[in-house]
Structure 1
């Protein structure tokens, strides 16, 4: 039985004077219920608006992160592509070439997996866990220690005297990678990996998904 029904029942069993007082109390009580309902509706609307604003903010943040990842992947691929072209162009030993290409493919696969996790969360408007940034930094830190300071240094020694200084000092600017005219240069090592038996269907699907999420356009070669 609701409040209104209870008041109706009481009015039927009391005298006229008491009935008048009950009716007065009923008006106050029902008005209070209506006020409470309006208050709840207002709070509900505020909560919905706050949730929408929060989601919109997360999506905007996600778009910024996705654009940075777009530039990072293009810069990384361009660096490896340039390096591998120099290995072929200046006829560096086959053993060194293979070592480089295997390392590049493994590294790009790791980066791709983490990039997909980050960009996927950003696009859906979900909070991006800080652990993703930490993982990405760990991947690059390990690369600097294990590859850049050893294998790349050996490559530089092989290229000195063969390649012009301009090739050795060539730089790729991350900021330039944000331009739409700059397409994705896929290194030979990664193309070979994706086309080999070592790559699973999931590897190939992940690569296509990454291109779609980051809006990457492959360079025509």
Structure 2
């Protein structure tokens, strides 16, 4: 039963790791008009999620070691939900603060997906990693594609806040899994990873893939 719940949780987690980022660019015009954003501020708004991914990704393993992988994922999804809701609050500060929170949630979830796969499905890591990557791409494309229809139906706030619903559902799904503390997101210390040629190869490969995606 726990294995099935983990599969459901993994699917829901993966579906929420791109929408918060890709759903913003299609409504930038409306955001710029609403808040009177300058070109620099628009650039900062769209860059913040990537900066958060770089910053909070380094903190995610320590958090998971401290409170457990499942609890860390639940916390990340709660933060992501809060960030998505905050972006719909009137005010420029809320827009930027919500973007930072959403970026922090996405970053933490990104890092912990491989940990969940390796721990829960060690014999089928490739299959479930591929599934998670596919779901991330699908959700990212869906958020970008649905942003304008949602904006036309209910304004830019609906386009941004709509993705808080699946994020909250995912957080509720992961909540019961935190009852059993399973803290093993990274078996190797960060310092030793820097001396591993394979770690550098993976970093370069994933960095190039991310470069293509975000560009």
Q: TM-score range by the shorter chain?
A: 0.3 to 0.5
Larger radius of gyration: 1
More relative contact order in 1 or in 2 (CA 8 Å, sep 6+)? 2
TM-score, structure 2 normalization: 0.33
